[in-house]
């Protein structure tokens, strides 16, 4: 006999008929001798409808009242599902988040789960009942017992958290697609189903716009080693397995508040090449990285920063022993990128041999902007300047000067109370095929650029610190490579993206910073297209192929940001879907079954 947690999403319980069909499926699982806990979402588009109702009354409704309102959606479905099961002769009971003791922090509309009291669920299971639990909601840990919600899409997180606390043998997420596909099938018709995907890859995809799973659900599965499957509610097909590494034993207390950072990683052997003031037109990145790939040079981090006066800066890091080759490629291409042969200011190549990369890694930093901010602050306090920043869901990497390495390691290990971890050797020849597993589009982002930020330790710390204090997550952080002297002080520009919903709050928060930069520029006309795959580590040519696909369709790249297992490009919003399709095709993702 196994204990199985099944979660059914909104579409799967979108009508009485669907609830009845799903109930039959649940009964079948129970009749095979399994104990079954079911987590359900609100019916169909109920949550959206409730959000709209609220917006008709207030443009900025109080978050507590929003939680009170939105949590009702799930309460309707648990009652109906339980009735449907009982009607089939299957003993069942519906329970709210509060009734099963899903205790969360008191942060309305985005609460993290602190603990779940499994006794009541277990008691009902032992009586042979199916327990139907309301997803997305919990109860706060204070004395007031406030109803909280976990954030949109959060029922996945409820399900995996319940599976962890009951030590269930698996958690099955039932939805309206056959599993996890190479991209959103609503946008790209020939997206293909994957049999399996690693948690790290899924974390990135989910956070970059693949809403098939809530990223925090993947985080819990990864931390507790919960076997997780995404399947269709309408078929018996096996769906997609999300693979977790073998986890370190963890307490179930502070379930979603586990230690954010597992280790500090350091790579002394980096060099940085930057191409300053290259023309802002489609094809430039493709040309540069195409030639670099042709020379079999593997690039690690790539950034392309905001442009000023129709020119961009592109910078990338390589391991030191291929620097000469990489520099030669950049020098060879530079003249062709100059408009006039006399202006040597254009397409200037800048090389830094003594660079190092330091990173903090851990699944617990997802959705917690304070962690990256703390890293920047720690480096600033140690008087270390940050030259490049690369963020991913499970890692924040900073390029710094090599001579600062030891101090940076000490400071970060102290600040996060962790050890220096040995960096896993990149799988060079192992066939982690294919290198790109999936692509995602996020059209809900906005770009914020801060101009003329003083180039001194502590600026990133104060900017991202004030955003973190306001609980605003940022992504795709980029510092310009060119330095401008304003009033005798060197300055750089810093750009990053935030969720459109957080834009207003981000602008207000930035206004509280009285000095440090001269201007804030906001661009909401953007879409972010990303490729994700653990197999791209140590493989030359992946970035080049991505940029070439965009260039071929004449799509201009506004920003480039990478981490080890993802590359994101920001493009104009109206070109988002076209870019997604082009990239999906370029990596031949439609061909795999
Ligand atoms: P549920 O209500 O079951 O939680 P969601 O609407 O939250 O369902 O998530 C499922 C949807 O996610 C699919 O209908 C699909 O349009 C979208 N989606 C986006 N990216 C992907 C992807 N890579 N694979 C599968 N579905 C995806
Ligand atoms: N009903 C909630 C939402 O629509 C939670 C969920 O479905 O996961 O966001
Ligand atoms: Mg969902």
Report pLDDT digits (tens) over 202-260.
Answer: 999 998 999 999 999 999 999 899 999 999 999 999 999 999 988 878 888 888 887 78
Tokens standing for residue 306: 């905001």
- Residue 46 alpha carbon to ligand 2 centre in Å: 9
Element spanning 416, H or E:
helix 405-416
Average of per-residue pLDDT across 36-47: 98
CA nearest ligand 2 atom 6, residue:
153
**High-pLDDT (> 90) share of the chain, %:** 64
CATH class of 263-586: alpha beta
pLDDT at position 432 is 52
Task: Kindly report which listed range (27-41, 66-80, 554-568) carries the lowest average pLDDT score.
Answer: 554-568
Distance CA 195, CA 316 (A): 34
More confident residue, 136 or 388: 136
pLDDT at position 427 is 43
For the domain covering 3-243, report its CATH number: 3.40.1160.10
- Residue 155 alpha carbon to ligand 3 centre in Å: 7
pLDDT for 311 beyond 50: yes
Q: Where are the beta strands (DSSP E) in 123-169?
A: 130-134, 137-140, 147-149
- Residue 395 alpha carbon to ligand 3 centre in Å: 25
CA nearest ligand 1 atom 11, residue:
212
Q: In what order do the strands lie in the sheet with 395-401?
A: 388-392, 395-401, 348-361, 263-279, 311-319, 302-304, 559-563, 566-572, 526-532, 438-442
Report which bound ligand comes closest to the CA of 438: 1
Which residue among 97, 148, 155 has the greatest number of ligand 2 atoms within 8 angstroms of its CB, and so is best to mutate? 155
Enumerate residues lining ligand 2, CB below 6 A.
9-10, 41-42, 47, 73, 135-136, 152-155
Any atom of ligand 1 within 6 Å of the Cβ of 317: no
Report which bound ligand comes closest to the CA of 153: 2
Please classify residue 87 by burial: count the beta carbons closer than 10 Å to its beta carbon, then call 0-12 exposed, 13-18 middle and 19+ buried.
exposed
pLDDT for 591 beyond 90: no
Cα–Cα distances (Å) from 10 to 76, 135, 236, 245, 536, in that order, read 12, 11, 19, 30, 35
Looking only at the bridges linking them, the beta strands covering 438-442 and 395-401 are unpaired
Among the atoms of ligand 2, which is closest to the Cα of residue 214?
Answer: 8
Cα–Cα distances (Å) from 307 to 360, 361, 590, in that order, read 29, 30, 34
Among the atoms of ligand 1, which is closest to the Cα of residue 438?
Answer: 23
Handedness of CA 195, 186, 202, 152 (dihedral sign): negative
Domain assignments of the chain as residue spans, ordered by start = 3-243, 263-586
Element spanning 407, H or E:
helix 405-416
Mean pLDDT of the chain: 90
- Residue 42 alpha carbon to ligand 2 centre in Å: 6
pLDDT for 190 beyond 90: yes
Any atom of ligand 1 within 6 Å of the Cβ of 73: no
pLDDT at position 51 is 97
CA nearest ligand 1 atom 15, residue:
184
Reading phi first (left if > 0) and then psi (alpha if -120 to 50, else beta), residue 134 is in beta
- Residue 102 alpha carbon to ligand 1 centre in Å: 25
Task: Kindly report which listed range (306-315, 325-334, 460-469) carries the lowest average pLDDT score.
Answer: 306-315
Average of per-residue pLDDT across 437-449: 94
Distance CA 554, CA 566 (A): 22
- Residue 77 alpha carbon to ligand 3 centre in Å: 15
pLDDT for 592 beyond 70: no
Looking only at the bridges linking them, the beta strands covering 489-499 and 484-486 are antiparallel
- Residue 417 alpha carbon to ligand 2 centre in Å: 36
- pTM reported for the whole predicted model: 0.90
Distance CA 111, CA 54 (A): 20
pLDDT for 555 beyond 70: yes
pLDDT for 430 beyond 60: no
Report which bound ligand comes closest to the CA of 212: 1
pLDDT at position 455 is 81
């Amino acid at each position: 006999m196994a204990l199985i947690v099944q979660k059914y999403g909104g579409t799967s319980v979108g009508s009485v008929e669907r609830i009845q069909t799903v109930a039959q499926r649940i009964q079948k699982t129970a009749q095979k001798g399994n104990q079954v806990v079911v987590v359900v979402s609100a019916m169909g588009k109920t949550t959206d409808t409730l959000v709209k109702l609220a917006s008709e009354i207030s443009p900025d409704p109080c978050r507590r009242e929003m939680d009170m309102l939105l949590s009702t959606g799930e309460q309707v479905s648990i009652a109906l599902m339980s009735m449907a099961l009982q009607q089939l002769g299957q003993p069942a009971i519906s329970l709210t988040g509060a009734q099963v003791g899903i205790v969360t922090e008191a942060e309305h509309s985005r609460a993290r789960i602190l603990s779940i009291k499994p006794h009541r669920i277990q008691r009902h299971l032992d009586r042979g009942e199916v327990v139907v639990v309301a997803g997305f909601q919990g109860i706060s840990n204070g004395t007031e017992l406030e109803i909280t919600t976990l954030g949109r899409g959060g029922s996945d997180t409820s399900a995996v958290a319940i599976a962890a606390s009951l030590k269930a043998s698996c958690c099955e997420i039932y939805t309206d697609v056959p599993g996890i596909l190479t991209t959103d099938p609503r946008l790209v018709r020939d997206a293909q189903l994957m049999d399996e995907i690693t948690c790290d890859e899924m974390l990135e995809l989910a956070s970059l716009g693949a809403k098939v799973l809530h990223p925090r659900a993947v985080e819990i599965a990864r931390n507790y080693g919960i076997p997780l499957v995404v399947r269709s509610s309408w078929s018996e097909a096996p769906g997609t397995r999300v693979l977790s590494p073998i986890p370190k034993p963890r307490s179930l207390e502070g379930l979603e508040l586990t230690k954010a950072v597992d280790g500090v990683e350091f790579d002394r052997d980096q060099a940085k090449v930057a191409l300053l003031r290259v023309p802002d037109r489609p094809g430039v990145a493709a040309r540069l990285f195409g030639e670099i790939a042709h020379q079999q040079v593997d690039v690690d981090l790539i950034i392309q920063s905001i442009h000023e006066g129709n020119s961009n800066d592109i910078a990338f890091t390589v391991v030191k022993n291929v620097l000469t080759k990489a520099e030669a490629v950049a020098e060879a291409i530079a003249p062709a990128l100059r408009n006039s042969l006399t202006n040597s200011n254009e397409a200037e190549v800048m090389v830094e041999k003594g660079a190092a990369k330091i990173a903090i890694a851990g699944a617990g930093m997802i959705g917690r902007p304070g962690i990256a901010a703390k890293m920047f602050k720690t480096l600033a306090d140690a008087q270390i300047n940050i030259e490049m920043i690369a963020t991913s869901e499970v890692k924040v990497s900073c390029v710094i000067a090599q001579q600062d390495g030891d101090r940076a390691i000490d400071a970060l290990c102290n600040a996060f109370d962790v050890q220096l971890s040995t960096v896993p050797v990149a799988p060079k020849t192992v066939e982690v095929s294919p290198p790109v597993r999936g692509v995602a589009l996020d059209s809900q982002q906005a770009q914020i650029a801060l101009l003329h930020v003083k180039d001194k330790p502590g600026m990133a710390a104060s900017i991202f610190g004030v955003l973190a204090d306001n609980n605003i997550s940022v992504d795709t952080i980029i510092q310009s490579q060119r330095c401008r002297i304003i009033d005798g002080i060197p300055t750089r520009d810093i750009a990053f993206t935030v969720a459109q919903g957080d834009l207003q709050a981000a602008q207000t928060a930035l206004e509280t910073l009285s000095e440090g930069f001269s201007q804030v520029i906001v661009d909401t006309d953007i879409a972010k297209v990303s490729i994700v795959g653990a197999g791209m580590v140590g493989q030359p040519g992946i970035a080049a192929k991505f940029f070439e696909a965009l260039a071929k369709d004449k799509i201009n790249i506004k920003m480039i940001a990478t981490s080890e297992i993802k590359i994101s490009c920001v493009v104009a919003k109206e070109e988002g879907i076209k870019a997604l399709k082009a990239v999906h095709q370029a990596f031949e993702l439609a061909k795999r079954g």
